[in-house]
Chains A and B, each alone.
Chain A
Amino acid sequence: MTGFIQQIINGLSIGSVYALMAVGYSLVYSIMNFSNFAHGGIIMFGAYFGFFFMTLYKFPFSIAFIASGICAALMAILVERVAYKPLRDRRAPFLYFIISAMGVSIFLENIIIATIGPTFRTYPEVFSTQPIKIGNMAIGRIDLTMFIISAVFLVLLIYLIDYTKIGKAIQATSFNMKASALMGINTDFIILLVFGLGGFLAGLAGVLFGMKYTVYPQIGNITLKSFIAAVFGGLGSLQGAVIGSVLLGIIETITSGYISSQYRDLIAFVLLIFILVVRPMGLMGKVTEDKA
Chain B
Amino acid sequence: MNILEVNGLTKQFGGLTAVNDVTFDVERGSITGLIGPNGAGKTTIFNLVTGVYKVSGGKIVFNGKEIQNEEAYKIANMGITRTFQNIRLFKKLTVYENILTACQYNANYSLFEAMIFGLVPKRFKRNSRFYREEKQLKEQAEELMEILGLEDRKNFIANNLPYGLQRRLEIARALALRPKLLLLDEPAAGMNPDETEKLTELIAFVRDKFDLSVLLIEHHMDLVMEICDKIVVLNFGCKLAEGTPKEIQQNPEVQKAYLGGGNNA
Which residues of chain A are within 8 angstroms of B13 by Cβ–Cβ distance? 289
Which residues of chain B are within 8 angstroms of A289 by Cβ–Cβ distance? 13, 53
> In the docked arrangement, what's the CA distance between A289 and B12, Å?
11
A104 smallest CB distance to B (angstroms) = 27
Q: In the assembled complex, how far is the CB of residue A243 from the closest CB belonging to chain B, in whole angstroms?
A: 25
CB contacts (< 8 Å) of B52 on chain A: these are: 292
Q: In chain B, residues 137-194, which have Cβ atoms closer than 8 Å to a Cβ of chain A? A: none
Q: Which residue of chain A has its CB nearest to the CB of B50?
A: A292
Which residue of chain B lies nearest to A291 when distances are taken between CB atoms in the complex? B13
Q: Is B101 an interface residue (CB 8 A)?
A: no
Q: Which residues of B contact A292 (CB under 8 A)?
A: 47, 52-53
Chain A's closest residue to B86 (CB) is A292
Instruction: Tell me the total A-B contact number using a CB cutoff of 8 A.
Output: 5
- Complexed CA–CA distance, A292 and B53 (Å): 9
| Main SS at interface, chain A | loop
B interface size (C-beta, 8 A): 4
Q: Mark A276-292, 1 if CB is under 8 A from B, else 0.
A: 00000000000001001
B43, closest chain A residue (CB): A292
B47 — which chain A residues lie within 8 A by C-beta? 292
In residues 40-86 of chain B, which contact A (Cβ within 8 Å)? 47, 52-53
Chain A residues lying within 8 Å of B53, measured Cβ to Cβ, are 289, 292
Which B residues, 1 to 33, have Cβ-Cβ distances below 8 Å to chain A?
Answer: 13
What separation, in Å, do the CA atoms of A21 and B218 have in the docked complex? 51
Closest Cβ–Cβ distance, residue A52 to chain B (whole Å): 48
Q: Report the Cα distance A289→B47, complex, angstroms.
A: 13
Question: What's the minimum C-beta distance from A88 to chain B, rounded to whole angstroms?
Answer: 20
Report the minimal beta-carbon distance from B15 to chain A, rounded to whole angstroms: 13
Which residue of chain A lies nearest to B84 when distances are taken between CB atoms in the complex? A292
Min C-beta distance of A28 to chain B, whole Å: 27
Q: How far is the CA of A289 from the CA of B53 in the complex (A)?
A: 9
A101 CB to closest chain B CB (Å) equals 24
What is the CA–CA distance of A115 and B138 in the complex, to the nearest angstrom?
Answer: 58
Closest to B85 in A: A292
Distance in angstroms from B183 CB to nearest chain A CB is: 13
Query: Residue-by-residue, is A222-259 near B (CB-CB < 8 Å gives 1, otherwise 0)?
Result: 00000000000000000000000000000000000000
Give Cα A289–Cα B52 distance, bound, in whole angstroms. Answer: 11
Closest chain-A Cβ to B84's Cβ sits at a distance in Å of 8
Complex Cα–Cα for A292 and B13 (A): 13
Taken together as a complex, chains A and B put the C-alpha atoms of A74 and B52 apart, in Å, by 45
Closest-CB distance, A288 to chain B (whole angstroms)? 10
- In angstroms, Cα B185 to Cα A292, docked, is 13
Per the bound structure, the CA–CA distance linking A292 and B85 in Å amounts to 10
Instruction: Tell me the smallest distance from the CB of B204 to a CB of chain A, in Å.
Output: 28
Q: Which residue of A is nearest B72, CB measured?
A: A292
| B54 to A, closest residue via Cβ | A289
Residue of A nearest to B47 (CB): A292
Q: Contact string, A8-30, partner B, CB cutoff 8 A, digits 1/0?
A: 00000000000000000000000
A292 to B52, CA, bound (A): 8
Binding site for A on B (CB under 8 A): 13, 47, 52-53
Binding site for B on A (CB under 8 A): 289, 292
* Chain A to chain B contacts (Cβ below 8 Å), 5 pairs: A289-B13, A289-B53, A292-B47, A292-B52, A292-B53
Instruction: State the 3 A-B residue pairs at the shortest beta-carbon distance, nearest first.
Output: A292-B52, A292-B47, A289-B13
